[in-house]
Amino acid sequence: MTVLERTVEALLFLSPQPVSTAELAVACDASEAEIDRAVDALEGALAGETRGVVLRQVAGGYTLAADPVAEDAARRLLSTPRTPPLTQAQAETLAIVSYLQPVSRPEIARIRGVSSESAVATLTERGLIEESGRSRFGAMVYRTTPLFEKLFGLSGLDQLPDPSRFDPTPEDERELRERLLKAGEQRAS
């Protein structure tokens, strides 16, 4: 293993976030072509040996991750959640932002049918979404962050599931509509 390959491996080990080829080139004082070769060699070395880590490309950069064979043991070790799971409101808001970004809080509220201030604030605090400017009407617009891509194992937003796969059939739509109307009646009474 060359000094550059070892340096790249060390930088990926130290970085809590994926690191791009350009960032590695600057840090290592090397060309992007040299970094690409070092990353390829590192990936081969990690894949070819029985090691506990693998090289993954996510969120526009590279990161070291646990080998999938260690998943069960890692789940047991890390079973205590560091942050509470997303609430339904937060999950809905995150889905809206991920598919429609950039999107404003009033647009999110209109889609969800309820205020989303708390969900937007929590997702921003957790680093899953961030402000990305203002709409033509002056409202702050939000987008997902590289941390979102990393946590969901995406190398880019083009890897989000195709929403058309989740379109209900006419029968499912009728059943869902009936359930929603029934729930609305129960809530009203």
pTM of the model: 0.53
Question: What pLDDT sits at residue 188?
Answer: 67
> Tens digit of pLDDT for each residue in 43-96?
888 886 678 888 999 988 999 988 888 888 888 887 766 677 889 999 999 999
Q: How confident is the model at residue 17 (pLDDT cuts 50, 70, 90)?
A: very high
Q: Which of 83, 136, 88 is nearest to 113 (CA)?
A: 88
Domain boundaries, the chain: 3-75, 88-188
What per-residue confidence (pLDDT) applies to 173?
75
Strand partners, 151: none
* CATH code of domain 88-188: 1.10.10.10
Q: Is residue 182 scored above 80 in pLDDT? A: no
Q: Check: CB of residue 130 under 8 Å from CB of residue 124.
A: yes
Strand partners for 64: 55
User: What does the alpha-carbon distance between residue 186 and residue 189 come to, in Å, rounded to a whole number?
Assistant: 5
| Model pLDDT for residues 153-177, shown as the tens digit of each residue | 888 888 888 877 777 778 877 787 7
CA atoms within 13 A on the CB side of 172: 4
What is the sign, positive or negative, of the torsion defined by CA atoms of 105, 108, 109, 110?
Answer: positive
Query: 3-75 and 88-188: same fold?
Result: yes
Rounded average pLDDT over 174-184: 74
Per-residue confidence (pLDDT) for residue 80, from 0 to 100: 66
Q: Quick one: fold of 3-75? A: Arc Repressor Mutant, subunit A (1.10.10)
